[in-house]
Structure 1
Amino acid sequence: MINKRIAVIGIPGKWSTEVLADHLEQRTGYRCIIDMADVVLELETGQLRYQDTLLNALDGVIIKKISETYSPAADDRLRMLSSLEADGVRCFSPPNQVIRLINRLEGTAALASCDVPLPATRVTESTDAALDTIQAFGKAILKPLYSTKARGMLVLKAADGVKANTQKLDKFKAKHGLFYLQQFVNLGGQDLGMVFLGGEYLCTYARAGDANAWNTTIHSGGKYIPFDPSPELIELGRKAQSCFDLSFTTVDIALTDEGPVVFEVSAFGGFSGAKKGCGIDAAEKLCDYVLSQFEARA
């Protein structure tokens, strides 16, 4: 038993949050799940409180989930947590790193600056420029800056014509503002989730898509299956995740006719894919890693 008070920041009742809290309780005797919706930040002191728990007095926190959905409010929640590290509370992953991945544009820009291969991407507020991009790409995916599991994404085809696409763009802009357009790539029915723990490769699973869906997300009917990547593919995933300093993450990779491309690095990573696709209890592995970091400092 390791005498450390480590809380899980997540969604009470959600499997990934609860299973991580279970492992921590087994190893430390302490269990605490923090819902950021009920956290109070005292700006004059820098203290954060969740019910009767003073977060600044904890030994550490694992940020498993900051909110149910990505939004600017998720940014705010992470900024609230930034004072913890100054008080010596270990954060897994650091809030300032997770913030970089909540906004799709910031995360993709970081990958591009590290020369990670990505689908061709254009970002603009101009409807005319967006129409030109759709024409140049032939087929494009229009993505909200804040979303997960392909929610809110649209497939736009040049063949549908300027009028139809203008209507779709105008409707999207009224809700989301900026146009983030990525060239449509043929996934071949699957894409990959490559899991890293403390920067080290853990496993890879594939998401096999439903025949009726353009994406492979589980939300759209996909399923997890095992996948054995080449050493070169693992190095690509390693390069992508090394653009950020994350305790646990999943790199989304597609195998295209032109070679592999990275879609994104996850802000939090998923336990379910590692469990169902690789037979690995990633929550237990993450718990072991976190506790090893405390032991290394002892």
Structure 2
Amino acid sequence: MNKPKIGVVGIPGKWSTEVLADRLEALTGFRAVIDMAEVELRLDTNQLMHGDLDLAQLDGVIVKKISEVYAPSAEDRILFISHIEKLGVQVFSSPEAIGKLINRLSGTLALQQGGVPMPKTRVTESLDQALAAVYEFGSVILKPLYSTKARGMEMLTADQDESELRQVLTAYREQNSLYYIQQTVKLDGRDLGMVFLGGEYFCTYSRVGNKDSWNTTIHSGGHYELFEPTEELIELGRKAQACFDLSFTTVDIALTDQGPVVFEVSAFGGFKGALEGCELDAAGAYADYVVAQINQRGVV
């Protein structure tokens, strides 16, 4: 029986991309890391070329990372991947599911429509309405529509000078089509990353802040620790990830004085938190899952 050929769309040289490619190579003997910046879509021949490799001829593709940062251009790349999915290549996660999460607003709306508790959020094009939301909430996080790991986010408080607030809001609007404003919540210095594989619970880790930053991301100096959630908390994470039907994801959950809330669901999910916080090889488990799914379909 031939072993499946599975490519990894990601960032060459990045640990999470390379470790997933390593795990797949160990299972199948095939290795391909695909940089979307180097891909050419040939519509006349229905090929998606990365060098000499035609992605349309692969048995499967795992989208580990569509781009280094979220941006409207990432949505164009998703369309490329969607085209080969329609040609019969199995894609993990599906481009449709990923596409809902590249833009923060579409992801938020899916969670809201799914009845998932989130921090109070206001979205508007109006600077005056945005300013009013800051005064109403007292303390808010201004979030770019295309952003990961808290990049570009800014905390605003009602006690700041109005001219300063207007200046920040004006600068934000020059880069974003909408104001996305979320009320800050009281954390105990950590938030949770709840990992799901194929819709099934995998593990939970906490991101613990370094006390010098308002957010707990590793990008801002936080670190991972193991966390044992209650069944009720797992069900909240399950409900949130079910809004998107992702093959692998991490649900960001905050424990607040008013109960747990979901910050967001990751389009791709991370491996390092599971490894360092839970001592589990999520990359290996994901590779096993994908190979099993492709074999079950009978591609090989």
| 8 Å contact from structure 2 (residues 213, 220) kept in 1 | yes
1:161 to partner: Cα distance: 3.1
CA distance in 2, matches of 1:2, 1:228: 41
**1:195 lines up with 2:195 in the alignment:** yes
State the structure with bigger RCO (CA 8 A, min sep 6), 1 or 2: 2
In the alignment, what sits opposite 1:266? 266
Alignment-mate amino acid for residue 20 of structure 1: L
Alignment-mate amino acid for residue 87 of structure 1: L
| 8 Å contact from structure 1 (residues 237, 251) kept in 2 | yes
In the alignment, what sits opposite 2:44? 44
Q: Which runs of 5+ in 1 are unaligned?
A: none
Deviations 1:164-222 (CA, angstroms, capped at 9, x unpaired): 21111011111223110000111210000000000000000000001111000001110
CA distance in 2, matches of 1:187, 1:98: 28
Q: State the TM-score, normalizing by the size of structure 2.
A: 0.98
Deviations 1:32-79 (CA, angstroms, capped at 9, x unpaired): 111000000112333211000011110000000111100001111011
Alignment-mate amino acid for residue 113 of structure 2: S
1:26 to partner: Cα distance: 0.8
| 8 Å contact from structure 2 (residues 142, 181) kept in 1 | yes
**1:136 lines up with 2:136 in the alignment:** yes
Alignment-mate amino acid for residue 157 of structure 1: T
In the alignment, what sits opposite 2:65? 65
CA distance in 2, matches of 1:2, 1:234: 38
**1:30 lines up with 2:30 in the alignment:** yes
RMSD between aligned residues? 1.0
CA distance in 1, matches of 2:91, 2:176: 31
The DSSP-based 3-state class of the residue aligned with 2:159 is: helix
| 8 Å contact from structure 2 (residues 22, 31) kept in 1 | yes
Q: State the TM-score, normalizing by the size of structure 1.
A: 0.98
Structure 1 runs of 4+ aligned residues shifted over 6 Å read none
CA distance in 2, matches of 1:177, 1:85: 30
| 8 Å contact from structure 2 (residues 122, 133) kept in 1 | yes
Q: Which runs of 5+ in 2 are unaligned?
A: none
Deviations 1:62-121 (CA, angstroms, capped at 9, x unpaired): 000111100001111011111111211000001111011010000011000000000000
User: Within 5 Å, which residues of 2 pair with 1:10-21?
Assistant: 10-21=10-21
CA distance in 2, matches of 1:167, 1:239: 39
Cα separation, partners in 2 of 1:50 and 1:167, compared to 1, 3 Å: same
In the alignment, what sits opposite 1:178? 178
The DSSP-based 3-state class of the residue aligned with 1:206 is: strand
Percent of residue pairs identical: 60
CA distance in 2, matches of 1:168, 1:177: 15
| 8 Å contact from structure 1 (residues 192, 206) kept in 2 | yes
User: Would you say how many aligned residue pairs link Structure 1 and Structure 2?
Assistant: 298
| 8 Å contact from structure 1 (residues 47, 55) kept in 2 | yes
In the alignment, what sits opposite 2:212? 212
**1:119 lines up with 2:146 in the alignment:** no
1:295 to partner: Cα distance: 2.6
Alignment-mate amino acid for residue 207 of structure 2: R
Cα separation, partners in 2 of 1:6 and 1:211, compared to 1, 3 Å: same
1:2 to partner: Cα distance: 6.0
CA distance in 2, matches of 1:267, 1:297: 24
Deviations 1:213-233 (CA, angstroms, capped at 9, x unpaired): 100000111000010000000
| 8 Å contact from structure 1 (residues 10, 34) kept in 2 | yes
